[in-house]
Structure 1
Amino acid sequence: MSYDLHISESPAYAPFFGYMGAASAQVFTVLGAAYGTAKSAVGICAIGVMRPELIMKSVIPVIMAGIIGIYGLVVAIVLRGIVGDAGVRGTAMQPRLFVGTVLILIFSEVLALYGMIVSLILTMG
């Protein structure tokens, strides 16, 4: 079984849709992050008037909304193909490697999120 694809076998517009997919992954997640930040800012202003001591705890939704934009950047980079030719070819030859690769990407990306959660738990006690 061969996985070789030649340029002549794919349509001329295929790269356009590939790059548009990567651009869409970045643009729409950043727009969602901006919307989440704006909605959180309204809540931060309201809590600043009612209970000023809770302003720093109110910043957490802004951080979470920013993480969405970072995940969009990661998806755009992965779709662009910077993950590596060896990983893609390895997945083509051994399809069971795909799940492990995705899990490694997910766990390495959320490491900072876990650190923030642990620090919040430690500061509350």
Structure 2
Amino acid sequence: MSVIRPELIVKSVIPVFMDGIIAIYALVVAVLIANSLPPEMTLFKSFLQLGAGLSTVLSGLAAGFAIVIVGDAGVRGTAQLPLLFVGMILILIFAEVLGLYGLIVALILSTK
């Protein structure tokens, strides 16, 4: 991108930032689970916390794959045709929502 269109370098970093947001989702759930660990825990609560962690990780993994694929093709396409940037951002937002769904499920599971 810096060789073809140096003015679009900042726009080409947006997929990297969106992947970082998914990592923050996992960090939030990890802190919530770590802060709610009692000395004595039931098996039910243990499986709820396992499910909360797995829902965040697996949805984050799916969202990360989608963001990487769309980001790669979108940045290459935006270098050739800058009008593709808006479409890339929309698809990236829809991919980011996959990780947000996992965070919501984890929050619901960890509050039970």
TM-score normalised by the chain length of structure 1: 0.51
**1:42-61 matches, cutoff 5 A:** 42-61=72-91
2:58 aligned partner, one-letter code:
F
Identity over aligned residues, as a percent?
A: 24
TM-score normalised by the chain length of structure 2: 0.57
**2:49 aligned partner:** 19
**1:78 aligned partner:** 108
Aligned length: 72
**Structure 1 outlier segments of 4+, above 6 Å:** none
Shift of 1:19: 0.7
1:33 aligned partner, one-letter code:
A
Shift of 1:60: 1.1
Higher-RCO chain (CA-CA 8 Å, sequence separation at least 6): 2
Structure 1 alignment gaps of length 5 or more = 1-10, 83-125
Q: Deviations over 1:85-107 (max 9, x none)?
A: xxxxxxxxxxxxxxxxxxxxxxx
Shift of 1:75: 0.6
1:40 aligned partner, one-letter code:
V
- Structure number with larger C-alpha Rg: 1
**2:65 aligned partner:** 35
Structure 2 alignment gaps of length 5 or more = 1-40
Structure 2 Cα separation of the partners of residues 30 and 12 of structure 1: 27
**1:84-99 matches, cutoff 5 A:** none
CA-based RMSD? 1.9
Shift of 1:17: 1.3
2:72 aligned partner, one-letter code:
V
